Each structure stands twice: as structure tokens, then as C-alpha cells.
Amino acid sequence: MKTNEMKCNILLQASLEDLTQLIKDGIKSEFSTFKKELSSNSEKDDLMTREQVLDLLQINPSTLWHWQNSEKIIVYKFANKNYYKRSEILESLKPLKK
């Protein structure tokens, strides 16, 4: 009970403007964190069409077809269309050893 009474006393001593500012700051902080997580997740899991992959990698369709068949690139099919995850495309790229 004493801790609840202390909290009530602290809240009563704070002005309405202080409480409003504290709430605004808390919401802004949480929203900013949520926004960063959401944008980073959406970039990683962004689905790309065949044309977008061809443009990104600057390859021709036969090369993409060959990479799909040799399982170098994972393809997802939906309604007779091919889709690719941007993160998986970028992960499939390997550095050239010198």
C-alpha cells in the first residue's frame, strides 16, 4: 500500500504539462523503435518479381532460369508467377576470392 500511496503523491505533485510531456516522450520513443523494426523487417522480406530480380542482378532471363534450376536462387510461386525474397537474393551472392 505504501508504494501505491507514494506513486499517487508523486503524480499529484507533477503538473499536468509535465505528465503530458512524459506521455508524449514515451509514445514518441516507442513509435520510433517500432518504426525502425518495421522498416528493417520489410526491407529484408521484400518480395520481388522476376523483372525486378533481372534488373537488380543485371542478368538475362536464361541465367535466372539456370540459377533457379540449380537451386542457387530460391523461387516462390503464386498464381503462376515467380517471386523472390530480396534478402535471399542478396544472401546468395558470394564474394569473389582473389
> DSSP letters of 30-43?
HHHHHHHHHHHHHH
Kindly list the domain boundaries of the chain, sorted by start residue: 2-43, 45-92
**Cα separation, 83 vs 98, whole angstroms:** 33
The reported pLDDT for the residue numbered 57 is 94
The more confident residue out of 10 and 65 is 65
The reported pLDDT for the residue numbered 19 is 81
The reported pLDDT for the residue numbered 95 is 78
The mean predicted confidence, pLDDT, of the chain is 83
Buried b (16+ CB within 10 A) or exposed e, 58-77: eeeeeebeebbeeeebebee
**Between the CA of residue 64 and those of 46, 77, 79, what are the distances in Å?**
18, 15, 19
3-state DSSP assignment of residue 24: helix
**pLDDT at residue 7 greater than cutoff 80:** no
> Looking at the whole model, is its pTM more than 0.85?
no
The reported pLDDT for the residue numbered 32 is 85
